[in-house]
Structure 1
């Protein structure tokens, strides 16, 4: 099972969650940033052997449940742009299966310092790219509309010009 968290058209996290492999698929230690603070941007995976699988009779189910946590810094949520955060669960094999349950999306503390600056840079980069694409699209649209308008006598588009080149 791969899990993707996506914001600003860029994949932020990918975590492989093995079925019954190692008891600690990723580092069991909490990731630490360069200043000694917990790194909330680094993916971490925790496995809890006490969780029961809770499969119904006849269902396929892995022998171990996994508890995992992924963090993504989203910065400001702009309701006008309505970007949202995409969460994608992907099974890489054709015969694979997964059971997802108890999904929680929590807002933790506000971003400060370097984390806030990094998110602001990502937002600006994404916004600049979007504005450039919007500007290019408007130019192409305007040219296409003028070409189509030139084919017709009026703005109702119900009568073609007698001479169209």
Structure 2
């Protein structure tokens, strides 16, 4: 750990992971206990560390990393988030996250819940369509806001790609 990373950790309370996986958990989370037990069984080579952060105790760090649910795993390569997984994770998924962090490449398959994004987009499009057909500006605005909300993670990834 460099002096700058140690100072950041002291000032902000969250560890700086250049290359590794952050595991955000909460004390009462059953899925977090399962992921924790899988991590304990993994072969720890030390090349790609998995650092656990209690999201309830360190809400500022969870907010800074846009963690909204537990468990959430974030893979970092050279300080850039390359993959994210929210929800229960198997040993295979943990291995893929470690490989993504080590290689700096995004996972071959999406770690975002696609069904939820598709559902948000469909709901937004229905609201937009009904709002336009009935000339109800409120529905049009709500539909547009939901479209932006559903597409925000994609826009964030595009921005990260362009700033590399």
**Fold match (TM-score > 0.5):** no
Q: Which has the higher helix share?
A: 2
**TM-score, length basis structure 2:** 0.26
Greater Rg, structure 1 or structure 2? Answer: 1
**TM-score, length basis structure 1:** 0.26
